[in-house]
Amino acid sequence: MRSQNRYQIDTLSVVYFLSLVMLGWINIYAADYDLDGNTPFFDLNQSSTRQLIWIGASFLLIAVIFILDYRFYDSFGYVIWGVSVFFLLAVLFFGKEVAGSTSWFEIGFIKIQPSEFAKIATAIGLAKYLSSQNVGVSYKYKLGISAFLFSIPMGLIIMQGDLGTAMVFGSLILVLFREGLSAKLLFFSFYAVLLFLLTLLIDQWILLFMVLALFLIGLGLFIKNRKALIFIFWLSILSCGLIKSVDFVLNQVLKEHQQLRVMSLINPNADPLGIGWNVMQSKIAIGSGGFMGKGFLKGTQTKFDFVPAQTTDFIFCTVGEEQGWLGATLIMILFGAFFLRLLTIAERQKSRFVRIYGYSVVSIMFFHFAINIAMTIGLFPVIGIPLPFFSYGGSSLLTFTMLLFILLKLDSQRMEQLEH
Amino acid sequence: MKSRILGIKFFVIITISVLSIRLFSIQIMDTDYQEIANRNVIQKGIEYPYRGLVFDRNGKLLLYNDPVFDLMITPKNVDLSDSLLIKKLLFITQREFDQAYLKARSFSRHLPSIFYKQLSNEKFAAFQDRMRDLEGFNINSRTTRGYAEIGLANILGYVGEVTQNQLNRDTTGYYKSGDNIGITGIEKTYEKSIRGLRGVKYRNVDVQGINMGSFENGAYDTLPQPGQNLVLTIDGALQKYAERLMEGKIGSLVAIDPSSGEILALVSAPSYDPSLLSGRGFSQNFVTIQRDSLKPLFNRPLQAMYPPGSMFKTIQALIALEQDQVQADEIITVNGKLIGDHAPPGKYDMERAITKSSNNYFFKVFRRVIQQGEHLSPFIDSRMGYNKWRDYVLQFGFGKILDIDLPNEKAGFVPSLEFYDKIYGKERWKFSNIYSLSIGQGELLVTPLQMANLGVILANRGYYFTPHLVRKVGAESLDFSQKSFIEIDTGHFESILEGMQALVSVPGSRAYIPDLVFCGKTSTVENPQGLDHSGFMGFAPRNNPKIAIAVYVENAGWGARAALSTASLAIEKYLNGSVKKKWLENYVLKGDFQDAKPE
């Protein structure tokens, strides 16, 4: 039995992976399709053709991952993390500024984005730290420390001006929750995000009034519970602080293009040709798809370039317009099944390192998935993060492939892993 | 830990459900997006129909659609460093090129707009060969009105772009800005039939408005329906000949088929080349034509009003006969002193009075008609007589429009009782105030069309048809068979026609046409502003008439010269197909009627 399971790669995950990549490629082809009908089959000007090359490259990468010893990631966990942080620092000084972000190295015609690599490195670094022996440190304390492992790259990426990618690292809080982070903290995180969004949507004075009202109601309900009263008191103070600071952040900290993106979430109609254009057109494209969609290659909004970045961040518009609600939902279910499968894989590990890494992979991918779709349908500000395996682009495809296949490689040899 | 693992899995499922529900609401519940999407990409384009063609009564094409070619430019695709060829082909300077280019660019970089309107045929041919070398340029074809002849401008009229004013008045809501509309002539009167029906073409456009092909393969498109063709009553050959005769003169010629009211020729002189008001030079040419002191846009046969002069004596005679105030064979002796007269004093019966155009005879006859002695007061007597007389005159189609199918017809003027009351005071005027009417002068005003219609009435011995220019619209023949009768006994016509025949059908006279007996009456219309106008009205042949005609030539003196000669030539041309009297033709074409020897 034991020898049988050696080098057993998880077939189901590979099937999901291949399905997603294939469906993604089909949609890139559709988004890029020229209605004149003279789209050449192999033309490097076409995103779909170039994506084929990237898919080929990702297969090569998979081979490399399977050749590398599985112990590499565990052993060099901190080194990998350290190197990535070094690059994040270096790009701040030597990087090339594109559209307000300094997140690229340009060496000849090759462009490298250290923040993509940082996603993998941070997942590995976090897994390494949390799975290491506790030496004189309480576990709770350790969880707190681990937050630095992703807060540092996150901060550096914010400094690059790439708020969207930085937010991805916030998703790793889910991993900490799995590893025992108090539910209250998770609750506070969500509460903070919710309040943040409400502040954008509702006038801050109304919100402050609502907080005050809730405080008074809580006061009345828990008049005899002193502990609860203290909790409610501090929560109200924090809420007011958050509301005021969001206003501050929005107007003082965020750069203009980021402000516009946030504002466009609030009211995309106010500025249909400005930044809100993206969200408007994206919603129109998806909304016009109806139940069954317009059919493969028949989407008009995407074909005629009404939707910007239609092969990359807004690839889901093509899905929504051409495949309709049915197709979009089926694809989301496929993603869902894929994520649940990865969670199952993570849970079946004996090695804590692999389990934590597995959760990190799911958190990162799920965040991309949920936020990307949410922004195309106007539920979240346009923060410019790709849809895993669907969006055109070498960096993102290779990153997600690497994230996934390092997990699958580790999983394939889980019987050899030592339990820490 | 178990619950947390479950919680995380639950979170994934909930998130996907939320996204799916949100998608459901914008994709299925909210139909607005579908509409907005269509508005985004589907552009409605108008396909302009061809206007109907116009033929003469013999099937000769008069008015058609001329393809013209505009050079279009799409600024984005133009290589500015290589404008040499285009400048060479168009014969334009760098400055002109720059102006046209900047104008197109300010309209749109991505959409084509007109760079050069209406290429001449030679330029178009040159372009066709070099189109491949001209990136960013293409040729767009459309049509303008094309004219087979230089003439007929006053009949055909012209088309132009519909104005904001016309749009506001258009209650049918058919017209849209940019449409063409008939501005005058039959282009205007038959606009509804001739314009056709616009087609609609839906096409996809991309975010920059660039055409991306037809929408749903044209399933919702409608083809433009060409306008209906018109067949005119005009005889092309006669019209052309008559226009030639009237060249260099000011006046009108109207010829009508008495058996139907069909207008055979309608000449207004001077006129203009209708192709000048079609296409490229419209605005410039229009201003030139409009400023012309001879008013070529003034459609004289319908709009010019003159006193009828002696031609009116035919009506005076008929009314007097009908009212029994005179008998055709009654001899009236005149001494030529009542009113100025070219006819000698002596004895006249009706026939001789018409032939010699005796002013004094008709002075006496008209006095009897006006003062019939039914009232002791000459004022009231005149009033009663005048009123009866006027009723007859109106029956002949004077003082009102005949409702020809052309715009802006004038009614002329037959003074009413109130008119004279205003001048002289009520019951303060009698025959002696209005005797000029007896010889067709005074306040009377008629149009050449009305005079030609008088020819029709005389030819038919008492009735006419609504004069008209169009026989058939599409496949449908128009019905103009309704006769308008004049309450005058048919028998009264013969003595008058006898007199008219004796005037014109005399061998050796200028108007004589061998083997043709026809009738006519001339006028030398007094013109206080200058030389008298020359007028003629008649019909031919006397029995079974085929053509009634009226001619006015302004400032040409004797009616028996310019107008009669012109009418006689036109009649000969129409009835015989050619003209034998070349000397008379040359005389008319030369147009120097003052030097002609008197009769």
Domain of B531, CATH number, reads 3.40.710.10
The number of distinct structural domains making up chain B is 2
In a domain, residue B30? The reply is no
Nearest CA in chain B to A347: B5
Q: Answer yes or no: is B3 within a domain.
A: no
Q: Assess whether the previous peptide bond of B112 is cis (omega < 30° from 0).
A: no
**Tens of pLDDT, residue by residue, chain B (599 residues):** 678 888 889 989 999 998 999 899 888 888 888 877 777 776 666 777 889 999 999 999 999 988 878 888 888 778 777 778 888 888 888 888 888 888 888 877 777 778 887 787 788 888 877 777 777 888 777 788 888 888 899 999 999 888 888 888 887 778 877 778 899 999 999 999 999 888 877 777 766 666 767 766 776 777 888 899 999 999 999 999 999 999 999 999 999 999 999 999 999 999 999 888 887 678 888 888 888 888 999 999 999 999 999 999 999 999 999 999 999 999 999 998 889 888 999 999 999 999 999 999 999 999 999 999 999 999 999 999 999 999 999 999 999 999 999 999 999 999 999 999 999 998 899 999 999 999 999 999 999 999 999 999 999 999 999 999 999 999 999 999 999 999 999 999 999 999 999 999 888 888 899 889 999 999 998 888 888 999 999 999 999 999 999 999 998 888 888 999 999 999 999 999 999 888 889 888 988 876 443 33
What whole-number distance in Å separates Cα of residue B68 and Cα of residue B74?
Answer: 19
Model confidence pLDDT, tens digit, residues A222-278? 888 888 888 888 888 888 888 888 777 777 777 777 776 666 555 555 444 455 677
Nearest to B232 by CA among B485, B53, B12: B53
Rounded CA-CA distance A70/A64 in Å is 11
Q: What is the CATH number of the domain that holds B58?
A: 3.90.1310.10
**In this structure, is residue B284 part of a structural domain?**
no
Torsion of CA B383, B386, B392, B394, to 10 degrees: -90
B203 and B82 in one domain?
yes
- Whether chain A has a CB inside 8 Å of the CB on B110: the answer is no
Of A177, A290, A370, the CB nearest to B4: A177
Assigned domain for B5 exists: no
- B196 and B145 inside one domain: yes
Residue from the list B33, B36, B213 with its beta carbon closest to the beta carbon of A35: B213
Task: Give the span between the Cα atoms of A156 and A92, in whole angstroms.
Answer: 8
Residue B448 DSSP SS3: helix
- Flag whether residue B219 sits within 8 Å of chain A, measured between CB atoms: no
Q: CA A206, CA A130: separation in Å to the nearest integer?
A: 42
- B79 domain residue, yes or no: yes
pLDDT band at residue A79 under the 50/70/90 scheme: very high
CB atoms closer than 10 angstroms to residue B395:
18
User: Cβ B213–A370 below 8 Å, yes or no?
Assistant: no
CA B10, CA A55: separation in Å to the nearest integer? 32
A343 to chain B: which residues are within 8 Å by CB?
A: 5, 8-9, 12
- How far off is chain B from A280, nearest CA to CA, in Å? 10
Element (H, E) at B464: strand B463-465
Q: Of B230, B402, B232, B392, give the one whose Cα is nearest residue B301.
A: B402
A318 reaches B (C-beta below 8 A): no
User: Which of A34, A186, A288 should one mutate to test binding to chain B, selecting the residue with the greatest count of B CBs within 10 A?
Assistant: A288
> How far is B550 from B464, CA to CA, in rounded Å?
15
Q: Is B54 helix (H, G, I), strand (E, B) or coil?
A: strand
- Tokens linked to A294: 């317009």
Take residue B433 and report the two structure tokens written for it: 């105030």
Q: What is the DSSP letter of B198?
A: -
Look at B5 and A333 and tell me if their CB atoms are within 8 Å: no
* Phi and psi torsions of B382, nearest 5°: -60, -40
Which residues of A fall within a CB distance of 8 Å from B40?
A: 281, 284, 300-301, 304, 306
Q: Which residue of B has its CA nearest to A293?
A: B27
B442 and B522, same domain (yes or no): yes
The verdict on B127 and B189 lying in the same domain is: yes
User: Which residue carries 């897994």 as its tokens?
Assistant: A127
Same domain, B478 and B450: yes
Q: What is the pLDDT of residue B132?
A: 73
- B418 with B450, same domain: the answer is yes
| Per-residue pLDDT at B598 | 37
In whole angstroms, what is the distance from residue B522 CA to residue B538 CA?
9
CA of A183 vs chain B CAs: smallest distance (Å)? 9
Q: Do B185 and B317 share a structural domain?
A: no
A325 → closest Cβ in B4, B24, B207: B24
> B466: which DSSP letter?
-
Residue A347: which of B5, B207, B213 has the nearest Cβ?
Answer: B5
The residues, ordered by sequence, that sit 6+ positions from A418 with a Cβ below 8 Å of its Cβ are A350, A351
- Boundary residue ending a domain (B232, B255, B284): B232
Helix/strand number for chain A, H first, E second: 18, 3
B217 with B242, same domain? no
The answer on B444 and B538 residing in a single domain is yes
Classify burial at B199, counting beta carbons within 10 Å of its beta carbon; exposed 0-12, middle 13-18, buried 19 or more.
Answer: middle
Nearest Cα of chain A lies from the Cα of B206 at a distance, in angstroms, of 4
State the ipTM, two decimals. 0.86
On whether both B333 and B184 belong to a single domain, the answer is no
Q: Which residues of B touch A305 (CB under 8 A)?
A: 206-208
Q: Does A325 reach chain B within 8 Å, measured CB to CB?
A: yes
Distance CA B456, CA B451 (A): 9
Same domain, B507 and B569: yes
Domain boundary among B232, B259, B288: B232
- Which of B202, B232, B262 represents a domain boundary (last residue)? B232
> Comparing C-alpha atoms, which of B11, B255, B413, B194 is closest to residue A187?
B11
Tokens of B280: 């490229």
Chain B residues close to A287, C-beta within 8 Å = 26-27, 30, 32-34, 36-37
**CB-based contact (8 Å) between B88 and chain A?**
no
| Whole-angstrom distance, CA of residue B103 vs CA of residue B96 | 11
The parent domain of residue B462 ranges over: 236-272+298-591
| B20 inside domain | no
- Do residues B230 and B475 lie in contact, with contact meaning Cβ atoms separated by under 8 Å? no
Q: How far apart are CA B104 and CA B84, in angstroms?
A: 18
Is A335 in Cβ contact with B27 (below 8 Å)? no
- The pLDDT score that the predictor gives to residue B161 is 80
Residue B277 covered by a domain? no
Residue B389: which H helix or E strand, with range? helix B378-395
Choosing among B12, B20, B25, B32, which should be mutated to test the A contact, i.e. which has the most A CBs within 10 A?
B12
Q: Are residues B249 and B222 in the same domain?
A: no
In angstroms, the Cα distances linking B496 to B316, B351, B462, B492, B542 are 10, 6, 13, 8, 12
C-beta separation of B85 from B134 below 8 A: yes
Residues of B in contact with A332 (CB under 8 A): 16, 19-20
Residue among B270, B264, B281 at smallest CA distance from B246: B270
For residue B35, tell me if it sits in a domain.
Answer: no
Q: How far is CA B160 from the centre of its chain?
A: 15
